[in-house]
Structure 1
Amino acid sequence: MELISLIRTSFPIVETHNLSKTYGGSHSVNKVNLEVHAGQIFGFLGPNGAGKTTTLKMLLGLIKPTEGKIKVFGKDLEAHRPEILNQTGSLIESPSYYGHLTGYENLKVMQRLRSLPSKNIDHVLKIVRLENHKHKKADQYSLGMKQRLGIAMALLPFPKLLILDEPTNGLDPAGIGEIRELIKSLPREYGITILLSSHLLSEIEQIATSVGIINDGKLLFQGTMESLQSGNKTTISFKTADPARAEDLLLTQGYLPTIKAKQLMFNQLADEEVSRINRLLVEQGIPVTRIEEHNKNLEDIFLDLTGKERSL
């Protein structure tokens, strides 16, 4: 909690106020108030079409908002865009590169365009672990290597802020793991604040220190992973052949179970209470065939927030 308080005393690295974008009268992004603080890996989570990419494009000035304000590094984006972008790296949707050039040559083009030190090229190649493939043409790279090349380009100026849109999209499990470990190392080793979007719940759960959940253009939750998961309650389920009779019995003993999928559900029972309920049921001729403990994962929380049984 002390770390969170310390971060909150400074202005956010990214801050939006009522940020909105409409297309044909329909909101793609609807009054989003986003805060990303220094040193965070901020996971921007939502299903495809939720408004994630549109929001990130507005943060980079690639799309003009219909309504709202954007501040980056405490400065208005519209008034200070060149200055802000000089301190920002990004990879939106998919990496852009010249397929006929090598990885090194692609980075050389970017280095010259941005008037950056030549030494940065070898440095970022080492960070993304492409130093042994730098003389291979980019067209010959695997999908994971292309993603790493895109991240290398974004890292070339060693920005204060790195914005990544679905950086593990389409990768195999090994590639996802490589990108995950790379991203986790950047705040720790280089002081880079990261804002990344994803529809992969498991990835956000493993990588992010803070999270924003967006659905249908609206920001439903924003805060630390700890605060998101703090409301989780462990539930215990009892499976019996006669759940209605079991419920009636337990109500007379002061318990308040709910029946879900023909199972009796309880919130946060101590071990001795689980044992007592089991004994009560068996003694009254209601055999218990299964007792299970359930903990909500991020997907359960997402579905609770959106109220929708929808695929991500």
Structure 2
Amino acid sequence: MTSSPIVETYNLSKTYNGTHRVNQVNLAVHPGQIFGFLGPNGAGKTTTLKMLLGLIKPTGGKVKVFGKDLDNHRPSILNQTGSLIESPSYYGHLTGLENLKVMQRLRSVPNKNIDEVLRIVRLENHKHKKADQYSLGMKQRLGIAMALLAFPSLLILDEPTNGLDPAGIGEIRELIKSLPGHYGITVVLSSHLLSEIEQIATSVGIINDGKLLFQGTMQNLQASNKATIRFKTTDATRAEKILLTQGYSPKIQGEQLVFTHLPDEEVSRINRVMVEQDLPVIRIEEHKKSLEDIFLDLTGRERSL
């Protein structure tokens, strides 16, 4: 991608009591992306997002947004940024419309923006209901409406589908997916759910224990996954000995011989060699890890997501 990043971090770090919560993270988010920031609970996602907004001061490294250093240009950067961190902030005794009017005065935006964001988040029929009477999903949508009110260039959302039922998750997902194309908004959102990021993000960063383990597209992540080829024969030990003489180094797993990715012509040759040695091949299978397996390998299977 040739466009300059809208968000960049350089060795961004945050330490609490000598423990790294975020450890030298280098992010690059380009205009028009939905960037999924993925990792287990406690991996450092929220801490990183707070540093992008200047809500937490980094222990080390720096943040650039819109090509400007956050430390020196925070007011102008925040003027072009909307955010929803951890949970929506609202006045429960006020209606949805009244909450948006409070935000309107703070952001100095026209009345038409209120009508537009209510339509986007589908709260126009509930705008006169008090926020305390909203369902969890409606409260999330109100929080997103408040973040969208100034139609920012950058929207930062922390776990926006947390605690929602499947219908609510679907609504928020479709809403977020529409923002870059319809409104030119770049979105950074965090989640601990691979399935959500997989369905919504155009690029992804995977973080665990404060360290960025992967950054790129879902296709790049899948492409890093090398397939294995498994041969099942009537005698795996004998098959291994035969193939060792032919320059192959298979691993035996149960009754199968396992190879790392092989070109089709090599699969054909191995099959032919074994048949010529009167050793029937019962089955040939290709195994490729799912994205979930790749994610678990990166972040550690013992960790709860």
**1:138: how far off?**
2.0
**1:132: how far off?**
2.0
Q: 1:270 aligns with which of 261, 264, 270?
A: 264
Q: 1:175 aligns with which of 152, 164, 168?
A: 168
Partner Cα distance (1:261, 1:302) in 2: 26
SS in structure 1 at match of 2:163:
coil
What residue identity is the alignment partner of 2:221?
Answer: L
Render the CA deviation track for 1:127-174: whole Å, top value 9, x for unaligned.
112222222222222222221111111101100000011111122222
What residue identity is the alignment partner of 2:85?
Answer: I
Identity %: 78
Q: Which residue of 1 aligns with 2:154?
A: 161
- Return 266-275 or 107-116, whichever deviates more: 266-275
Q: Which residue of 1 aligns with 2:298?
A: 305
**RMSD of equivalent CA atoms:** 2.6
What residue identity is the alignment partner of 1:273?
Answer: V
**1:260: how far off?**
4.2
- Structure 1's 103 and 68: CA in aligned 2 closer, same or farther, altered over 3 A? same
Partner Cα distance (1:138, 1:261) in 2: 60
What residue identity is the alignment partner of 2:222?
Answer: Q
Partner Cα distance (2:122, 2:150) in 1: 17
1:17 aligns with 2:19: no
- Structure 1's 309 and 257: CA in aligned 2 closer, same or farther, altered over 3 A? farther
Partner Cα distance (1:46, 1:232) in 2: 19
- Structure 1's 260 and 206: CA in aligned 2 closer, same or farther, altered over 3 A? farther
- Structure 1's 205 and 282: CA in aligned 2 closer, same or farther, altered over 3 A? farther
Partner Cα distance (1:271, 1:207) in 2: 37
CA contact (8 A) 1:202 1:298 kept: no
SS in structure 2 at match of 1:164:
strand
Q: Which residue of 2 aligns with 1:78?
A: 71
- Return 301-310 or 61-70, whichever deviates more: 301-310
Q: Which residue of 1 aligns with 2:20?
A: 27
Give unmatched runs, 5+ long, in structure 1: none
CA contact (8 A) 2:96 2:129 kept: yes
State TM-score, norm by structure 2: 0.89
- Structure 1's 247 and 136: CA in aligned 2 closer, same or farther, altered over 3 A? farther
- Structure 1's 250 and 74: CA in aligned 2 closer, same or farther, altered over 3 A? same
Aligned residues: 304
State TM-score, norm by structure 1: 0.87
Partner Cα distance (2:262, 2:194) in 1: 25
Render the CA deviation track for 1:196-233: whole Å, top value 9, x for unaligned.
11111122122211111111111122223332222223
CA contact (8 A) 1:233 1:268 kept: no
What residue identity is the alignment partner of 1:277?
Answer: N
CA contact (8 A) 2:11 2:26 kept: yes
Partner Cα distance (1:273, 1:28) in 2: 46
1:60 aligns with 2:53: yes
- Structure 1's 173 and 235: CA in aligned 2 closer, same or farther, altered over 3 A? farther
What residue identity is the alignment partner of 1:207?
Answer: I
Partner Cα distance (1:260, 1:156) in 2: 58
